[in-house]
Each structure stands twice: as C-alpha cells, then as structure tokens.
Amino acid sequence: MEELFAKSIEYASLMHKISEDEMKVLISADKAGDELAGPEYEHYMKREFNSETPGILSRNSLLGLPVSKEYGGLDMPPIISVLVKERLGQLGMGISSFMNVQLFLCEQTIERWGSDTQKKEHLPKAVKGEKIYAFGLTEPEAGSDPASLRAEYKRDGSAFKITGTKYLISNGTISDHIIVFARERDSGKISAFIVDARSAGIGRIELREKIGLFTSDTGMIEFDDVEIPQENMIGNEGAGMHIAYSALLNARLGVAGGCVGIIDSALKASVNRARERIQHGKEIGKHQLIQQHISAIAQNLEMARWPTYYAAVRKQYYEKNPEDITLMEETERNVSLAKRIASRLAFESADRAVQIHGGFGYSLMSPVGQLFCDSRVARIYEGTDEIQDLKIASGLLGKGFEAYR
Ligand SMILES: Cc1cc2nc3c(=O)[nH]c(=O)nc-3n(C[C@H](O)[C@H](O)[C@H](O)COP(=O)(O)OP(=O)(O)OC[C@H]3O[C@@H](n4cnc5c(N)ncnc54)[C@H](O)[C@@H]3O)c2cc1C
C-alpha cells in the first residue's frame, strides 16, 4: 500500500474504528490509485479528460461509496470517502473532481432528496459508472451567490420547460444527466431537476482554457426551452437552494480529502527530490533552507488532515440525525474549516514542492507542477475561501451576523 496512505489510515483509525469491509474499500482505492497514475499523467499531458477514470473507479467499486446497498452502493461513512479521496487526490484534482460531482453532488443528492422512481432509475447506473452526472448550479452571473441564479422554468402541460445558461460545470460535456437548478418564472421559486443531457434544446461547449485541472471536463451548458417531464423535479417545488446547499456540504468535505492527498504527494516528491538532486557539492536536502520547506509541508499535512478527518466523523453523526439543526450547523462549520484549511495548505505545499524542484518543478511535465496548477481550484470551487470564512465566522458570531443572505 502507498506509504503515506497507509499512515493516514492508521491516523484516521484513531477517530473511527475501521471495519473489514471498509478496509477492503481502502485497499481498492489504493489499487485504483496505482492503475490511474499512468493514464492520469498521459491525459494531463494531452490536456484532456481522463476517459479511463470512470471505468477504473467502477472496476474497483469506488463509484458508489456513499450510496446505500439497496441501490448497489457501498454505504460507506464519510471518513472512508475522505480517505479514498485522499488516495486519489495524490494524483491531482482531476479524478478528485470527477468523484466529487458524480458521488457527492449527484448520487448523494438523488438518494437524499429524490423520489423512489428517481433513485431506482439513476443510482444503480451511476454507481456502476454506466451514466455520468453533472451538477449545474453556477451561471455566468451567479457564482458565490447561487440564489441569484437566472435560469428559468415554466409549466407546460404535464412538463416543465427550462431556459438559461450554466457555466463552469464539471463533467459538463461528458455527462448523461445534469442536475439543474432553475427559478419558476412567476413565483421565483428555485427548484432542482434531473435533466437528460441529450434532450432537444441543450447546447454544450467545453471550456478548455483553464490554468490546470486538465483531466477534468469543464463545460458551459445552454438550455433553450428544454422540456423536462414533471416527475424529474427533485424534492418539492421551491426546495432547490436547500438541496443545493446540502449537496455542497458533501462536496466540500470531498475537496478537503482530495487536498490532503495533494499534500501527501507534494511531501513525497519533495523528499525524493531533496535526497537525489545535488547542488553545491551535496544533496539539496542537506541544505537547511530546503529542510525548512520539507518541514513546512510536513506541518501542512498534519494541519490539514486532522480537521478533515474530524469533519468527516462529525458529518457521520449528522447524517444519522439529519433533522438536528444544531448538529447540522456544527457540521457545516467543521466542513468549511476543513475545506478552507486543506485547500490553502494544499496550494502552499504544492508551491513549496515546486520551489524544491527548481526549474523542473515549473513544468507541467513535473508532477509537482501539475499539483500546483490543479490545487488552485480547490480555493474556488464548492465555495470560495471568502465564502468559507464568512460561514465559519458568522457561525461563531451567531444570529444576526450573517455577512450575506
Ligand atoms: C474548474 C471549475 C469547476 C467547477 N465546477 C462546477 C460544477 O460542477 N457545478 C457548478 O455549479 N459550479 C462549478 N464551478 C463554479 C464554482 O463553484 C464557482 O466558480 C465559485 O462558486 C465562485 O463563483 P464565481 O466564479 O462566480 O466567483 P464570484 O462569485 O464572482 O466571486 C469572485 C470573488 O468575490 C468573492 N466574493 C463573492 N461574494 C462575496 C461576499 N459576499 N463576501 C466576500 N467576498 C465575496 C469570492 O470569494 C471571489 O473571491 C466550477 C468552477 C471551476 C473553476
């Protein structure tokens, strides 16, 4: 098993007793990590979606981690999902982003809020990787403030029709189904729908000019009077934002897990490089300033992993008591803390790793160069640094101190 991952499992087991079944999942994650490393690097160099990701994750039974067994999932607690994300996050944010969307934004949303028919129709195919899902909340004019979204729907007989634009959507051009959030034209109520991505009136373009995250597909999706059967609405009419925020809570924790994996890789690559590279007549690892960088990355790993594992354990309690508002608020705060800390430290660790690698680090051919470019997005998607700060602070300050509505 990959050395740092084995250590992480040991540490996490201090907070959560890992069962035999859970251990098997972690071993599969390690195997998938080995299998995906080569393809991920190759597709990164070609700046394209890693088309092998869904198949390899599915063969290793990792696409149904949070879904109940009734629908073919594994019913794993959040701490196991976080550890799996950590192992795959060691390869950068591409695989991690695919999993975030498929598992935490879409499968978990359908399982928690969907009808029996929706669950039976979508979950078994999603957990096998037969169908790929995307989550369409952000728009060109609505990012940090998704409640200001402009996509509209109206009733048309027994169906709905949606018009609008969704922007920066992961899995956007490769998905079979999209969870779309839109506002009812007259009442202004925001609702969520499962939309067949091949419906008439949908136009999709890939957004290629990113500064990293090349192996993840990102798209813009136009909806022009797209007809959606009435039964494709998720939950009640008007529950859209509630559904969106619960999905983001799942995905934020996933981002934190992936970021711990980035720090693992930054540390491992830096130690190896510092042992091998010789300058001024000795290994650069014998220069004290390089040791300082390595020490800092090791500190970052400890500072990122503990709040992430802790938030996962807290979230498990909340998932068992979803009606407990105090527990929900505490979990949201813990998850925001974990995401805020882990994403900042992942970027900082990747930056230090690039420094240790010198000119070679400043290249997309170098794994640390890839980590540097990839990790930046973790401070933006699933809620920016600033939005996490506002959630953390207002949660502590109490009612009346919300900095935004
Ligand atoms: C690669 C990638 C993949 C993505 N995948 C998806 C996806 O699958 N689905 C999806 O729906 N979205 C996705 N997103 C969108 C992402 O969630 C948004 O980019 C993010 O929420 C920020 O929104 P924005 O880009 O519009 O920035 P803005 O909201 O315009 O923010 C700009 C700046 O203003 C700050 N700001 C905004 N409001 C406040 C405030 N009240 N107080 C202080 N500062 C504030 C922000 O923190 C930020 O620094 C993705 C984004 C990227 C880059």
pLDDT tens-digit readout, 239-280: 999 999 999 999 999 999 999 999 999 999 999 999 999 999
Gap from CA of 144 to ligand 1 centroid (Å): 5
CATH number of 3-132: 1.10.540.10
Ligand 1 mutation pick, 97, 104, 138, max ligand atoms within 8 A of CB:
138
Helix (H) or strand (E) holding 202: strand 202-206
Q: Where are the alpha helices (DSSP H) in 198-320?
A: 240-276, 288-320
Containing H/E element for 101? none
In this predicted structure, what is the pLDDT of residue 318?
A: 95
Look at residue 403 in the predicted model and tell me its pLDDT.
Answer: 83
Band of pLDDT at residue 109, cut at 50, 70 and 90: very high
Q: What is the CATH superfamily name and number for domain 240-397? A: Butyryl-CoA Dehydrogenase, subunit A, domain 3 (1.20.140.10)
Q: Give tens-digit pLDDT for 292-318.
A: 999 999 999 999 999 999 999 999 999
Please report the atom of ligand 1 found closest to the CA of residue 170: 8
Q: What's the pLDDT at 321?
A: 94
| Average pLDDT estimate for 366-394 | 97
| Binding pocket residue ranges, ligand 1, CB within 6 Å | 101, 135-138, 143-144, 168-170, 213, 218, 377, 380-381, 383-384, 386-387, 390, 404
Q: What is the pLDDT of residues 16-37, one digit of tens each?
A: 999 999 999 999 999 999 999 9
- Is the pLDDT reported for residue 291 higher than 80? yes
Distance 271 CA to ligand 1 centre (A): 34
Question: Among 203-207, 223-227, 327-331, where is mean pLDDT lowest?
Answer: 327-331
What are the residue boundaries of the structural domains of the chain, listed by start? Answer: 3-132, 134-234, 240-397
Q: Do domains 3-132 and 240-397 have the same CATH topology?
A: no
For the chain, the average pLDDT equals 97
Give the right CATH number for 134-234 from 1.10.287.110, 2.40.110.10, 1.20.120.1730, 3.30.390.30. Answer: 2.40.110.10
pLDDT at residue 378, rounded to an integer: 98
Dihedral of the alpha carbons of 298, 288, 272, 215, in degrees to the nearest 10: 60
Mutation to probe ligand 1, out of 380, 391, 405 (largest number of atoms < 8 A from CB): 380
pTM of the model: 0.97
pLDDT score, position 399: 86
Ligand 1 center to residue 390 CA distance, Å? 14
pLDDT in tens, 136-189: 999 999 999 999 999 999 999 999 999 999 999 999 999 999 999 999 999 999
Cα 387 to middle of ligand 1, angstroms: 9
Beta strands 202-206 and 282-283 are unpaired
Name which residue leads in pLDDT, 405 or 164.
164
Calculate how far, in angstroms, residue 97's C-alpha sits from the geometric centre of ligand 1: 15
What residue owns the CA closest to ligand 1's atom 25? Answer: 143
CB burial of 285-305 (b: ≥16 within 10 Å; e: otherwise) equals beeeebeebbebbeebbeebb
pLDDT at 182: 98
Dihedral (C-alpha) 221, 405, 252, 65: value to the nearest 10 degrees?
-80
Residue 288, pLDDT above cutoff 80: yes
| Residue 343: exposure state from Cβ atoms within 10 A (0-12, 13-18, ≥19) | buried
Distance between CA atoms of residues 153 and 3, nearest Å: 51
Q: How confident is the model at residue 363 (pLDDT cuts 50, 70, 90)?
A: very high
**pLDDT value at 405 more than 90:** no
Please say whether the beta carbons of 162 and 153 come within 8 A: yes
Residue from 135, 137, 381 whose mutation best tests the ligand 1 pocket (most atoms within 8 A of CB) = 381
Torsion of CA 343, 349, 354, 358, to 10 degrees: 160
Distance 139 CA to ligand 1 centre (A): 10
What whole-number distance in Å separates Cα of residue 191 and Cα of residue 81? 28
Average pLDDT on 97-104 reads 98
Distance from Cα 142 to the centre of ligand 1, integer Å: 8
180: left (phi over 0), alpha (psi -120 to 50) or beta: beta
Q: Taking 90 as the threshold, does the pLDDT of residue 70 lie above it?
A: yes
Within a 10 A sphere around the Cβ of 97, how many other Cβ atoms?
28
d(CA 398, CA 15): 29
Number of helices (H) and strands (E), helices first, in the chain?
A: 12, 10
190 token code pair: 């925001």
Query: Which residues face 192 on adjacent strands?
Result: 181, 234
